[in-house]
Amino acid sequence: MKCGSGIEARQVDELFINIDPIQAGGRLTADAMKAVVAYGDGYSVCDNCRKPNRLDYISKPPIAEFHKDVAKWLNMDAVRTVPGARRGFQAVAHTYVKKGDPVLLTSLSHYTEFLAVEEAGGVAREIPVGDDKLVTSDAAAEKIEAVKKEFGRAPVLAFIDHVDYQYGNMHDVAGIAKVAHQYDIPVAYNGAYTVGILPVDGKAMGVDFVVGSGHKSMAAPAPSGILAATAEREKEVFRTTAIVGDVTNRTFGIKEPEMMGCTLMGVTLVGMMASFPHVKERTKHFDRELANHTIVMDALLSIEGTKCLSEYPRKHTMTRINTIESFDKVAETHKKRGYYLSSALEEHGITGVIPGATKVWKFNTYGMTTKQAEHLAGAFVAIAKENGLSVKG
């Protein structure tokens, strides 16, 4: 079925259980899909834009109210919507980082944080992780001291991922923020895998900024995200334009340079808004998500040779798994080689594992029903047994 010339209608999530690690939290709610239908036109949210002509002031649809609600929900003071978390990192980096400034990241930071630092002319310095793949406040303190020795000054900014993209491990943001603030380093919290997934309280963690991803974790169309700030930092990152044209003498009202004026227009914003009540509610029930994840993890770990590379017990539904001594052993002799696993999963109605991956791979169970989690668990065990692997219990 086509939805345009040469464009196949995508039916992945209708036909399969999708365990792609980055797609789970961004699947649209039915309300978001309806909003997409109604607000697909380019400038659709601008019908009722009135002075002072800025996106976050529009009251119909209730965009202004949405901004206030998101700030309150995250326990922060101001919010702007951005075209993806990366644009939030970019705005923060561009505000605080000048050429040659050291910036604190971690060994598990997302690449877009590095690019944001690079674009601002900064120098990346990573807090190393231990064997447990966790970033600690002690390691942060050591790294800050090392940076001070190297640069003669502390880092000007820190980006800390609460849950990292590589292992789905949960890091001590509050502890790291406390250390960073002792050196007056503003802390940007990367909540790409948490905002919209589990409860996030910016002030309780003591961070200056909270960055979230709409398309990764807030059931919103891409590219979308949020950047939240404390009252102190709001004035800096959301400063308004002061530029004046020398010929026309034009000024540009209360537009914000870091936001490049208005940010999300149309379907991305309204999709995020339509999902928001559901997203708020679902974060209160993250325990159910972990229970479903446990069903799948128990099944995977019952397959002899399979190891969990992420922290365990799991605190998040995205997990890195090592199947070198299980599914990869089968690949050595299977006629489909490494492709047999994704192929067999597909036969069970499951998609999202990279075709050919049998060694180390990631999956995410977020948003599944318990029935779907049981189906997935059963499929892993069945595939293992069909291929002669030992299964405990």
Q: Are 345 and 351 in contact (CB under 8 A)?
A: yes
DSSP string of 1-34, one letter each residue: -EEETTEEPP-HHHHSEE--TTTGGGPPPHHHHH
Q: Which is nearer to another protein, 106 or 372 (CB)?
A: 372
Stretches 197-205, 252-260, 265-273, 344-352: which one binds another protein (CB under 8 A)? 344-352
Burial of 72 (0-12, 13-18, 19+ CB in 10 A): exposed
Interface residue with another protein among 42, 52, 349, 355 (CB under 8 A) is 349
Tell the smallest beta-carbon distance from residue 323 to another protein (Å).
Answer: 22
Give the DSSP H or E segment for 38: helix 30-38
Interface size with another protein, residues (CB under 8 A):
19
> What is the four-CA torsion angle of 226, 232, 236, 240, rounded to 10 degrees?
80
Which residues pair with residue 272 across a beta bridge? none
When asked if residue 3 is in the footprint of another protein (CB under 8 A), the reply is: no
Tell the smallest beta-carbon distance from residue 194 to another protein (Å).
Answer: 23
**Contacts of 301 by beta carbon, 8 Å cutoff, 6+ apart:** 307, 308
Tell the smallest beta-carbon distance from residue 227 to another protein (Å).
Answer: 30
In the chain, the amino acid numbered 14 is E
Q: Which is nearer to another protein, 39 or 165 (CB)?
A: 39
Interface residue with another protein among 15, 146, 254, 291 (CB under 8 A) is 15
Q: Which is nearer to another protein, 14 or 131 (CB)?
A: 14
Interface residue with another protein among 14, 184, 281, 332 (CB under 8 A) is 14
Q: Which is nearer to another protein, 7 or 37 (CB)?
A: 37
Token digits for 356? 């050919």
Peptide bond into 155 cis (omega under 30): no
Tell the smallest beta-carbon distance from residue 30 to another protein (Å).
Answer: 4
Residues 351-380 that bind another protein (CB under 8 A): 369, 371-372, 375
Q: Which is nearer to another protein, 128 or 355 (CB)?
A: 355
When asked if residue 268 is in the footprint of another protein (CB under 8 A), the reply is: no
Interface residue with another protein among 148, 181, 334, 348 (CB under 8 A) is 348
Stretches 7-15, 41-49, 119-127, 160-168: which one binds another protein (CB under 8 A)? 7-15
Q: Which is nearer to another protein, 29 or 224 (CB)?
A: 29
Q: Which is nearer to another protein, 232 or 386 (CB)?
A: 386
86: nearest Cα among 192, 187, 164: 192
Place of tokens 């999963």: 345
One character per residue 30-49, x = contact with another protein (rule: CB under 8 A): x--xx--xx-----------
CA distance 192 to 218: 9
Helices (H), the chain: 12-15, 30-38, 63-73, 85-96, 111-119, 137-151, 173-182, 202-205, 214-217, 231-237, 267-283, 286-301, 327-333, 339-347, 370-386
Residues interacting with another protein, by CB under 8 A? 13-17, 27, 29-30, 33-34, 37-38, 348-350, 369, 371-372, 375
